Chain A
Amino acid sequence: MKRLSVLLSIIVVMSMLLAACGTPAAPATEPPAGEEEPVVDQPTGEKTVLNVWSFTNEILTMAVAFEKTHPDVDVVYTMIPMTNGEYQTKLMATLGTDQVPDVVALEAAFVKSYVESDFLADIGDLQQYADELEMYPFVYEVGMADGVHKAYAYQATPGALFYRRSLAKEYFGTDDPVEIQALLGDFDKYIAAAEVIKEKSDGNTYMVASNGDFQNLFFANREQPWVVDGKLTVDPMVDKMVETVKIFRDNGYEARATQWQEGWFAGMNDTLQDAEGNPKKVFSYFLPTWGLPYVLYPNSTSSDGGSTTKGDWAVIEGPLPYQWGGTWLGVMEDSAKQDLAKEFVRFCTLDEENLTNWATGVYTNEYLKAVDPTVPDDQYQAAGDFVGSQVVVEKITASFDDSEMSNFLGGQNSYGGFAAAAPSVNARLMQGSDDAIQRALNDPLNSYLEGTITLEEMWATWKDAVRNEFPDLIIE
């Protein structure tokens, strides 16, 4: 009996192992690392199959809309989360094999390394549509390497500064965006305002939740890229960033939360408490266009519903123009369906009707279900995503005067705010190695802020870390 049960358990274990390594040809999905579940839309019928890989469920909405206008195509959509870089790993590992998808979604952090690589197809003939729709230049410049267009984006993601109206009234006597913009128009003013808030609140309100929030702004306003002629280069703006971050830490202007962690979100709905249980408040958050509907809005009410900051926010351009994130679409050069893949990219990023539908909330769950009944119940695109075409933006801005997002911002038209910020964004300095180089600075910078290493040690540690990841880079 005992032997039998041992045998049985061995069989069970073996079968699980075998099951785990089965069906390698099917579009594989990584195990979910966060709450996001991988979604694989199964092919049906005799239609032409187009494989699309992405790291969120967002583009599934477009894929369904694409199936509506292209009934002979079946888009097989594979979602692989990138919480811990699973998506990048999976994509990198399939490059040059026959398992590459036809269309790939590329996030800002790694789009440039793919654009600079040998694996994305030249889709320059789409540029005429981009010109027609007056796409914001930085949107397609990111998708260019050596003058060749390889990726386009449907969004433009200019950054902005969101602040709490009630706190602005309390500390500055006004919550008017124009006046607050004048007060926070550059970083010296922003630091001075942080001091005012600290004093008037007895240290109970922080200017910002984490110092990671505004590092992007300095990087976005450099004059030299990280790598000049194969040499690692530090722009004066980076020194300025380190200085500013240090001021914020030493003076207690930041809540010392970590981006995307509990404390950071808690500040959005006013439930932040220090270790003793004293309530703390956060005055402002640096977030881009997508930060409003996807980050700030959903986190503005605490999980128990007891505390909400809805309607208490306003948006301004902030101290420096910047952009953060964004999703680009590219066609794999090894794809056998170049034309169809290109058409998919055109539809998603450079089609006036699709972009308008996308931004104005036409793609409801009912709309999608009518095309494909297997679409999940929570799949839809709410109005408000900021698209990359100035033609579309100008046409639809007025329709947001009374939207949910505008009510959330105390009646301020969010779309108009972003439209004002978008033209000053510049992404020409962006390089494939940016993300890794900036990430490498994170840990040494924090050690420096803690006071465990000196400024020179910080730069040395950072250079070692960069050298470790980029063996070919010249580092002095």
Chain B
Amino acid sequence: MFKKLKHHQYGYLFITPFIIAFLIFSFYPILNTLLLSFTDRTLMSRTFNITWFRNFQLLFADKTFITAVTNTWELWLMNFIPQMAIAFLLAVWFTDTRLKIKGVGVWRMIFYMPNLMMASAVAALFFSLFSFYGPVNQFLVRSGFIPEAIDFIRRPAVMRGLVVFIQWWMWFGQTTILLMAAMTAISVSLYEAALVDGASTMQMFWHITLPLIKPVLIYVLVTSLVGGMQMFDIPYLLTDGRGSPNNSILTNTINMYMKFHSSKGHIGAASAVGIVVFLMTSVVALLIFFLLREKHDHPEKNKARSS
């Protein structure tokens, strides 16, 4: 009995660093943000009032906030769907035992490269490329594709496209690697058995690969969702840091930063944005877990054990 208890204590000992770090660096900030969101606190004054839900009321009456929320969802979905599609395709090709693609490691490294670059460098690069006097305009005009230079930076569709493209380009390598890791972990014998039974590549994908990589899939989905809801650096740095042109790339976090950064530093109002984004992300993440849960988990496991 005593021995058993001691083993338990070892477990607690091992997770203590995480618990401590979590309490200090995650739980406390969240709690503090929540408390701040009930106040009209600014950085420029020493006093503040408790205003309860006024910040949230103002937020939902504010068109800019609604635009930011819609934008964030649209920008995330537009980059996440193609990102998953390409990552799946590449992962299936690279792990396919029949294709035997050479230099998988090199390809993987090349695809991962964009992720290593600083967001600020990438944003500055694309800004210069597409500016009114930039090389893209020079190329298009001189080779006769367009009659005169276009102010791409002022075109909402172009800028949104760029944000989506950059996010996709920076992250598809990462997703590919995760999916490949999940796929290579699947026992080859399953595929061999399927081959013997005459299964097609598509059938193997749907009935073997997909179910077995589901845990990784959920992980990718949730982390990408969290990252997407907090999308900041690229859209912030690409134009004027205010979601220009015409608020087309204004995201939640830019909106929050703008409130924090306005001349008075409205951290109360900024915290309210943070809380809404937090709740939104949490609800959707839980929904993903719920929808993709193992539906017949226990009976099957028991069966497998008894057999």
By the criterion CB–CB under 8 Å, are B141 and A447 in contact?
no
Q: Are B133 and A263 in contact (CB under 8 A)?
A: yes
B64 A467 Cβ-Cβ under 8 A = yes
B137 within 8 A of A: yes
Binding site for A on B (CB under 8 A): 40, 43-47, 55, 58, 62-65, 120, 128, 131-134, 137-138, 140-142, 148-149, 151, 153-154, 156, 237, 240-247, 255, 258-266, 269
B-side interface mostly: loop
Query: In the docked arrangement, what's the CA distance between A197 and B86, Å?
Result: 54
A303 on interface, CB distance cutoff 8 Å: no
In the bound assembly, the distance between CA atoms of A319 and B234 in angstroms comes to 39
Q: Which B residues lie within 8 Å of A470 (CB)?
A: 262, 264, 266
Known: A117-B44, A262-B134, A469-B262. 15 other contacts (CB 8 A): A92-B260, A92-B265, A116-B44, A118-B46, A256-B151, A261-B133, A262-B128, A272-B133, A273-B133, A443-B245, A447-B246, A450-B154, A468-B62, A470-B264, A471-B58
Chain A residue total in the interface (Cβ 8 A): 54
Residue in contact with A257 in the complex, picked from B45, B133, B148, CB distance below 8 Å: B133
| Known A113-B264, A262-B131, A276-B142: A118·B258 in contact at CB below 8 Å | no
The reply to whether the CB of A188 lies closer than 8 angstroms to some CB of chain B is no
State in angstroms the CA–CA spacing of A452 and B263 once bound together: 29
When C-beta atoms are compared, the residue in chain B nearest to A463 turns out to be B63
Contact with B along A432-470 (1 / 0, CB 8 A): 111110011011101100101100000001001101111
The answer to whether B132 and A432 have CB atoms under 8 Å apart is no
Lowest 5 A-B CB distances belong to which pairs? Answer: A275-B141, A117-B44, A275-B149, A469-B262, A113-B263
Q: Which of B58, B259, B261 touches A85 (beta carbons < 8 Å)?
A: B261
CB pair A275–B133 under 8 Å, yes or no, is yes
Contact among B120, B140, B264 with A432 in the assembled complex (CB-CB below 8 Å): B264
Give chain A's interface residues, CB within 8 Å of chain B. 33, 84-85, 88-89, 92-93, 95-96, 110, 112-114, 116-119, 256-258, 261-263, 266, 272-277, 432-436, 439-440, 442-444, 446-447, 450, 452-453, 461, 464-465, 467-472
A443 and B62 contact, Cβ closer than 8 Å, known pairs A262-B133, A275-B137, A275-B142: no
In the bound complex, how far is the Cα of B145 from the Cα of A329, in angstroms? 53
| Smallest Cβ-Cβ distance to B61: which chain A residue | A467
Chain A residues near B265: list those with CB within 8 A: 92
Residues of B within 8 Å of A436, CB to CB, are 262-263
Which residues of the partner chain A approach B154 to less than 8 Å between Cβ atoms?
446-447, 450
Question: What would be 14 A-B contacts, judged by CB atoms less than 8 Å apart?
Answer: A84-B241, A85-B241, A88-B261, A119-B46, A274-B148, A275-B140, A432-B264, A442-B240, A443-B240, A443-B246, A447-B246, A452-B156, A465-B64, A471-B55
B149 CB contact (under 8 Å) in A89, A112, A274, A446: A274
